[in-house]
């Protein structure tokens, strides 16, 4: 029903209220004529009694004072800077993030609402409607932290001042939505993903399952990973390096069949992507270490200061509460037998056969293996140490380490680490 001021004049309402006070009309009659309830009737009656001459039903909008001119200029400046990023085809930013603009303006002391920012964006041509997406109803539901780790990588140029793209590797706990691992790598390699798993496991423990896509780093797929017409190994018959680490840890690996099925980790990626690229553009950051500092700040904001839209809780608080209530499927990390050091778990593995000279050939190196019978198979653990520029080799035979040696990292160019 329309408001009173659109259906009656002030004089008409006054006459009805006066008739009630003079007992010529019943309250219910006035309410029925005006189409209002009891509470609204007595509110109008009080206003009329307090000031019969000044009483009015005309609608007066109470609006805030106009935004200061300096604030208007700040909003326009932030929006036009955002437009430059959107228009750059080399950056992974395709839509406007008005929430990020609001946070940035708040840092400048400009406190405005999202509708205000969007209104100015439309006026300046800094608006692009979001594309409607088809609903995806398949999702993984967990009841405890550590039940499922969503792991993925995003390969982009994270700053307009960076010379080349980097890979952001991220691991997310499915239940709490807490980001357990996030770091930049120069390239997305098996060793990068193994190192990410090590960082997570040694900090939080061993999870029950990992949820990944079907990238060759995680899964051997017959028709994709082989060039032979007559296939010998079927899909999943061969374990990539990363999956071998998962087997040693006793972690189940689950594969997503579509990008939409990994939405829970894709959404934080887009959130981080938006924030990091915009900050790097504003502060003119170019090196990985500089951008890594921005990443840490945004991950801290996501984990500790922001309520997640799906869970309605701050991820870190939800994670801690689950642990305190015993809803955790993380197992403490203990180096499994027969190994004695974590590096024998988190490593690249290759197998070789000892030749007639009691040596194995490994990437053009002839390595003497003492104490191992001829024609026996040994397992070689390769541990790249990028900071030292060294490649540590640990050779195992029948659950015993028979040799440990280090080489310059540059002598293993064919190892994709």
pLDDT per position in the chain (417 positions), as tens?
467 878 888 988 899 998 999 888 899 998 988 888 888 899 899 989 988 888 888 765 555 557 888 899 999 998 888 888 888 877 777 788 888 888 889 888 999 988 999 999 888 888 877 666 555 444 547 899 999 999 999 888 888 888 899 999 999 999 999 999 999 999 899 999 999 999 999 999 999 999 998 888 887 666 655 554 455 555 555 789 999 999 999 999 999 876 555 555 566 777 788 788 888 888 889 999 999 999 999 999 999 998 887 888 999 999 999 999 999 999 999 999 999 999 999 999 999 999 999 999 998 899 999 899 999 999 999 999 988 889 999 999 999 999 999 999 888 876 655
Q: What is the pLDDT of residue 229?
A: 47
Q: What is the pLDDT of residue 63?
A: 54
* Strand 166-173 relative to strand 179-185, pairing: antiparallel
* CA atoms of 236 and 224, how far apart (whole Å): 12
* CA atoms of 183 and 286, how far apart (whole Å): 16
Query: CA 328, 331, 335 angle in degrees (round to 5)?
Result: 165
Residue 381 contacts residue 345 (beta carbons within 8 Å): no
In whole angstroms, what separates CA 271 from the centre of its chain? 6
* Strand 377-385 relative to strand 179-185, pairing: unpaired
Q: What is the pLDDT of residue 2?
A: 61
Three-class secondary structure of residue 403 per DSSP = strand
Q: Which of 372, 347, 351 is nearest to 361 (CA)?
A: 351
Q: Which residues pair with 255 in a beta bridge?
A: 212
CA neighbours closer than 13 Å in the CB half-sphere of residue 94 = 5
Q: What is the pLDDT of residue 167?
A: 92
* CA atoms of 269 and 289, how far apart (whole Å): 19
Q: What is the pLDDT of residue 62?
A: 54
Does the domain at 149-324 match CATH 3.30.420.10? Answer given as: yes
Q: What is the pLDDT of residue 318?
A: 95
Q: What is the pLDDT of residue 60?
A: 57
Residue 120 contacts residue 75 (beta carbons within 8 Å): yes
Q: What is the pLDDT of residue 133?
A: 56
Q: Which of 118, 40, 120 is nearest to 73 (CA)?
A: 120
* CA atoms of 49 and 46, how far apart (whole Å): 5
Environment class of 205 (CB within 10 Å of its CB; exposed 0-12, middle 13-18, buried 19+):
middle
């Amino acid at each position: 029903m329309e408001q009173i001021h659109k259906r009656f004049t002030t004089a008409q309402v006054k006459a009805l209220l006066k008739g009630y006070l003079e007992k010529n009309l019943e309250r219910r009659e006035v309410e029925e004529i005006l189409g209002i309830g009891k509470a609204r009737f007595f509110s109008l009656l009080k206003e009329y009694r307090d000031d019969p001459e000044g009483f009015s039903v005309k609608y007066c909008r109470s609006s805030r004072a106009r935004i200061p001119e300096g604030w208007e200029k700040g909003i326009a400046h932030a929006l036009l800077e955002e437009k430059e990023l959107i228009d750059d085809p080399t950056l992974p930013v395709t839509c406007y993030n008005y929430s990020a603009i609001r946070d940035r303006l708040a840092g400048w002391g400009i406190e405005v609402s999202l509708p205000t920012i969007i209104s100015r964006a439309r006026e300046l041509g800094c608006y692009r409607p979001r594309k409607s997406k088809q609903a995806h109803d398949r999702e993984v539901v967990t009841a405890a932290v550590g039940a499922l780790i969503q792991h993925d990588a995003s390969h982009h140029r994270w700053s307009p001042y960076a010379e080349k793209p980097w890979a952001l590797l991220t691991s997310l706990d499915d239940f709490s939505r807490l980001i357990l691992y996030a770091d930049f790598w120069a390239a997305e390699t098996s060793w990068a993903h193994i190192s990410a798993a090590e960082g997570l496991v040694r900090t939080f423990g061993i999870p029950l399952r990992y949820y990944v896509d079907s990238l060759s780093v995680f899964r051997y797929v017959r028709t994709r990973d082989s060039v032979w017409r007559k296939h010998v190994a079927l899909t999943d018959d061969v374990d990539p390096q990363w999956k071998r680490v998962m087997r040693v840890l006793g972690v189940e690996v689950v594969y997503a069949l579509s990008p939409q099925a990994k939405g829970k980790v894709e959404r934080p990626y887009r959130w981080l992507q938006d924030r990091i690229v915009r900050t790097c553009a504003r502060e003119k950051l170019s090196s990985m270490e500089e951008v890594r500092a921005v990443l840490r700040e945004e991950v801290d904001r996501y984990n500790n200061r922001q309520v997640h839209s799906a869970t309605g809780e701050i991820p870190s608080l939800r994670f801690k509460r689950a642990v305190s209530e015993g809803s955790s499927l993380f197992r403490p990390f203990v180096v499994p037998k027969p190994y004695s050091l974590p590096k024998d778990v988190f490593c690249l593995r290759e197998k070789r056969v000892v030749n007639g000279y009691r040596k194995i050939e490994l990437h053009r190196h002839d390595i003497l293996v003492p104490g191992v019978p001829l024609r026996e198979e040994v397992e070689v653990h390769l541990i790249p140490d990028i900071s030292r520029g060294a490649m540590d080799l640990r050779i195992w035979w029948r659950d015993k380490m028979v040799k440990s040696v280090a080489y310059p990292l540059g002598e293993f160019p064919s190892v994709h680490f």
